């Protein structure tokens, strides 16, 4: 069981990223979040979400979900999503194990784009 992201619902509001950073550091520290929202500069209104799990990166974009094994991302740096590279240095998602209400990112998502499954 892990976090799932519906890229069709996501609006890239960054509430998940802020909540994750806050959960990990008790401050709005985006660099400690294991989930990030990103925008592409070359395409207007194009955005996605990257989630670091234990062994994989989940990349949710308008065209769908992509799951990459972390070793494959490191080997294939030329084709890896630019937002995925900094994610390799971050701690993986622990589903907010110490929180009774479940993952905080799921709780704060205003459009229910994040769910457990």
pLDDT band per the 50, 70, 90 thresholds, residue 73: low
Instruction: Return d(Cα 53, Cα 13) in angstroms, integer.
Output: 21
**pLDDT score recorded for residue 103:** 95
Q: Estimate to the nearest angstrom the gap between the alpha carbon of 109 and the chain centroid.
A: 12
For 5, 17, 46, 64, 106, the CA distances from 109, given in Å and listed in that order, are 11, 10, 19, 19, 5
Average pLDDT, the chain: 85
Q: DSSP class of residue 31?
A: G
Q: Which helix (H) or strand (E) holds 25?
A: helix 15-25
At residue 71, the pLDDT reads 81
Q: Round to whole Å and give the CA distance between 110 and 82.
A: 26
Mean pLDDT value across residues 45-65: 89
Report the predicted TM-score, pTM, of the whole model to 2 decimal places: 0.82
């Amino acid at each position: 069981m892990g976090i799932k992201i519906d890229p069709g619902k996501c609006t890239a509001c960054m509430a998940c990223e802020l909540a994750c950073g806050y959960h990990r550091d008790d401050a709005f520290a985006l660099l400690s979040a294991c989930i990030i929202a990103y925008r592409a500069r070359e395409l207007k209104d194009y955005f996605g979400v990257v989630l670091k799990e234990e062994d994989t990166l989940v990349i949710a974009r308008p065209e769908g979900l992509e799951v990459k094994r972390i070793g494959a991302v490191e080997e294939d740096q030329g084709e890896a999503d630019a937002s995925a590279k900094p994610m390799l240095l971050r701690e993986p998602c622990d589903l907010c194990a110490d929180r009774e209400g479940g993952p905080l990112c799921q709780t704060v998502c205003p459009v229910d784009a994040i769910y457990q499954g």
